[in-house]
Amino acid sequence: MIVSGWAVLVMVLSYCIARWVRFNASVLKLVDIPNNRSSHALPTPRGGGLSFFLIFLLLVPVCCFHGLLTLDQAIGYLGAGGLVGVVGFADDRGHVPAKWRMLSHLIAAGWAVYWGFHIPVVDILGLTVEATWLAGIVTTLYLAWMLNLYNFMDGIDGLASAEAICICLGAAVIYMGSGHPELAVMPVMLTAAVMGFAVLNFPPAKIFMGDVGSGFLGLVIGLFSLQAAAVNTLYFFCWLILAGVFIVDSGWTLVARVLRGKRVYEAHRSHCYQIASRRFRSHKAVTVAYASITIFWLFPLALWVGVGGANGAAVLALAYTPLFVGAYWFGAGDETK
């Protein structure tokens, strides 16, 4: 009951901040001007992710005080999330060169790893992978990848916010069903904060979340997965399954573009969701489709792992197989589509 009350307050506060950013976008220099790579036609305010970025960082010390986070975890969230959000906000207001953005992402990920966020001992089809110094490097790259893939996938109205809501709520349900309700609090609070913003972001979007929001969400979802994995390694697979549509779309597109000799950080419109939005001439249809896949396909499989104890790696492969087929069918990574 207390959590639900806080969630409503967080949602309302987030909406108010996002609305304030929207009406002051010109003064704040937060207006997205369409170009030939854009999926929208009109100048639109951006930086709305500032709402859930600020609220979440304010909630971290509160959760730490109530024993939902250790002090080390709180420092990890604040340092990594704060750096990513600040750099993202600077990029929203004016261009930050890709090399400096990437450096800040690696520093943020490394900071989180230093404060205890790392891939734990994981059993993959009978092969035990120990948490060594190599795992620290892999974890840093994992967090940097999650951060950037979420940025890549924030290209049409409502998609990134809808996915964040579905992923975090799905994880919260799994935690509740498997006896760890304390882990559900932070994902629920992030969900509430994103929902407040999403009211203005659902197609047709009145404001975009910008890099301050997309990069921050990708990082925090990655941190959520690592925090939960320290309690139960199966939870790590649950998060990977729930985020499947984003991981597969961005991953397939990246590999396809590299094989075509394209630059990794060159702006493009060849992600599966971008091709689908052009083909069906609707942001709303694609956003609803991605959310539906997460709810009706990926969530039951994640629930099977987190509550039912199924083999995480095997179910992950099952979950991703049709997603890879879909990415191939739509021609993700092919700019001629």
pLDDT at position 305 is: 98
H/E stretch holding 253: helix 244-259
pLDDT at position 126 is: 57
pLDDT at position 335 is: 78
Residue 179, classed as helix, strand or coil, is coil
pLDDT at position 41 is: 65
Q: Which residue has the tokens 């702006």?
A: 267
How many residues belong to the chain? Answer: 337
- Residue ranges of alpha helices (H) inside the chain are 2-23, 25-28, 50-65, 71-93, 98-114, 133-152, 159-177, 185-201, 210-229, 233-242, 244-259, 272-280, 283-293, 299-306, 312-330
Residues of the chain with pLDDT under 50: 1
Please give the structure tokens belonging to residue 60. 């971290």
Contact in structure between 202 and 158 (CB atoms under 8 Å)? yes
pTM of the predicted model over 0.85: yes
pLDDT at position 134 is: 73
Q: Give the end-to-end CA distance of the chain in Å, rounded to a whole number.
A: 49
Round to whole Å and give the CA distance between 121 and 139: 12
pLDDT at position 303 is: 98
| Domain range summary for the chain, segments of one domain joined by + | 2-31+39-330
Please give the structure tokens belonging to residue 48. 């709305």
- Picking from 63, 59, 102, the residue whose alpha carbon sits closest to that of residue 83 is 102
Q: What is the pLDDT of residues 35-83, one digit of tens each?
A: 655 566 678 999 999 999 999 999 999 999 999 999 999 999 999 999 9
